[in-house]
Amino acid sequence: MIKDKILKALNKQINEELYSSYAYLAMSAHFKSESLDGFAHWYRLQSEEEYGHAMKILDYINDRHGKVTLMKIDPPKATWKAPVDIFKETFDQEVSVSKSINGIVELSLAEKDYATNNFMQWFVSEQVEEESTALKLLDRLKLIGDNKNGLIMLDRELGMRASAS
């Protein structure tokens, strides 16, 4: 049986992952409205990936005979001035999610819940990749600056992202 402190933290993490999914979907819609279909595609897939993370935690809670408690998801921002602003927000969101995941790892060790600790290691590794990707794209957008040709080239590249499923 899963301990109450761990259950509460995991349910909160489901909310974090669903918020990320929701925010990335809003970013996708924004890019679509700006005719940057590659960026829109990349963020749509990113939204689906975050949703998958939430489902992974939900399934884990159920496997441990815990009670899933879904919480309110705050509406994300809907407009941005520039693509670089969106990727800055994305990087900040991933850092926030990493902090939350690390908190669950710390709690699992304090509670001697080694199964949850083991489960969360996948998320720890995943967040290294998520932060790295977001920072790399942010850095590339900073290099591109106001160069529209560079933006179109990156849009084309992001449009080639394959679905993880």
Query: What domains appear along the chain, each with residue ranges and CATH number?
Result: 4-158 (1.20.1260.10)
The label of the residue with tokens 């969106």 reads 86
Banded pLDDT at 165 (limits 50, 70, 90): low
Read off the pLDDT of each residue in 53-60 and give the average, rounded to a whole number.
98
pLDDT tens for 127-157 read 999 999 999 999 999 999 999 999 999 999 9
pLDDT tens for 5-56 read 999 999 999 999 999 999 999 999 999 999 999 999 999 999 999 999 999 9
- The Cβ of residue 59 has, within 10 Å, a number of other Cβ atoms equal to 11
Integer-rounded Cα radius of gyration of the chain: 17
Q: What is the pTM of this model?
A: 0.94
